[in-house]
Amino acid sequence: MKKIIFTLFFLLSFCVLNISAEPINSEAIKAYNEGIEFYGNDEYDKSVESFKKAVAIHPDFYEAYYNLGQVYLSLNNIDEAIKNYELAVKYEPNDYDSCYMLGELLYKKGYLSRSISYYAKIPPSSELYQEAQEAKEKVIKRQKEVLAEAEKKQLEADKTTIEGAKTTQDIEGIPAPSGIVGDKKGNIFIASYGENRVYKIDPLGQKSIYVSENVLQGPVGLAIDEEDNVYIANYGKGNILKVSPKGAPFIITKVLKPYCLAVINGYLYISEQETNKVIKMKI
C-alpha cells in the first residue's frame, strides 16, 4: 500500500507517496491517511470510505485509487480492485505497481489480452520488469492453450453434429415422395406419387394412409391452411383436393396438370404446368 511521507508512524512496508503536480487538498490527504490507518487495523470498510472520500475531494489522487485496489483485494472484490487500479494508471501512467497488479488480476479473470497489455507497459528500468516479462510469457502460453482448447471443442461439436445427422430417423417406404406439409399438432403429410397415396406421420413416427389411391392419381404438391385443411395437387386427374382434419377429400377446382401449391393470406396458389401460369383462388 502507498503512503505519504508524513505518515511514517504507519506500516514501514508502505511505498512513499509521490508529490503530484497539483497540490493535494489537505482534507484529501487527511482522508487518505485515515484510510491507511483503518487498513492497518483491518477495518476495511472504513478504509474504503476514507479513500473514496479522498478521491471525491481530489479526483486525480492516483495513490488513493491504488490503495483502494489493495483494500478491495483484501475484501476479495477483484472487479472493484481492477477498476481502481485502472484509475490509478489513468492518472499516473508510470504507476507500474498498478500495471503489474492489473496484469495479475486480469489474468485471473481470464482477460488475457488486457493482462498482456498492462505487463507490456512496464519498462526495463522498472524493478518489476523481469517479473512482468515472465508473467507476460505465462499469459501468452495460456492464450495458446485456450485457443487449442477452443479448436478441440469445435472439432468435437462438429463431430457430434455429423454423427447426429447420421443417426437422424428416416421415413422410409414411401415410393416417389413429393409434397410434404405439417400441421399444428406435429403431424407430417407426405404425398407418394408412385403409390397414389398421401401418408400421415404422427409425432411418434407412426405412419398411416391419410388419402388412398381411390381418389388420387399422381399426387405431387401439398399445402395446408391455418385450420389444418390439407390441399393436394392431383396431377394425373387434373384437380385440387381439399381434406379437412377429420373429413374425406373432395374436389375444389379443376386444373390442367397442377403441380406446386402454397397457402398465403387466405389464398391458395396453384402452379398449372400445362399452361405455364399460377392460379390464385380464395379458400
Residues 122 and 208 in one domain: no
Q: Is 276 helix (H, G, I), strand (E, B) or coil?
A: coil
Stated length of the chain: 283
Mean pLDDT of the chain: 89
Residues 87 and 200 in one domain: no
Enter the C-alpha cell of residue 247: 373429413
Q: 187: domain range?
A: 177-282
Residues 24 and 137 in one domain: yes
Which pLDDT tens digit goes with each residue over 157-193? 887 766 665 555 678 889 999 999 999 999 999 999 9
How far apart CA 101 and CA 115 sit, in angstroms, is 9
In CATH, what number is assigned to the domain containing residue 29? 1.25.40.10
Which pLDDT tens digit goes with each residue over 94-104? 999 999 999 99
Span 111-121, average pLDDT: 96
Q: 167 in a domain, yes or no?
A: no
The total number of structural domains in the chain stands at 2
In angstroms, what CA-CA distances link 159 with 11, 150, 163, 164, 272? 60, 14, 6, 8, 44
Residues 16 and 106 in one domain: yes
Residues 186 and 99 in one domain: no
- 96, 127, 146 — which closes off a domain? 146
How far apart CA 162 and CA 239 sit, in angstroms, is 42
Which pLDDT tens digit goes with each residue over 1-29? 775 424 333 332 333 344 444 688 899 99
pLDDT of residue 169: 65
Q: 172 in a domain, yes or no?
A: no
The dihedrals phi and psi of 159, each to the nearest 5 degrees, come to -65, -40
pLDDT beyond 90 at 231:
yes
Please tell me the least confidently modeled range out of 16-25, 31-40, 72-81, 227-236.
16-25
Span 29-53, average pLDDT: 95
pLDDT beyond 70 at 112:
yes
Residues 108 and 228 in one domain: no
In CATH, what number is assigned to the domain containing residue 262? 2.120.10.30
Residues 192 and 137 in one domain: no
Span 129-149, average pLDDT: 94
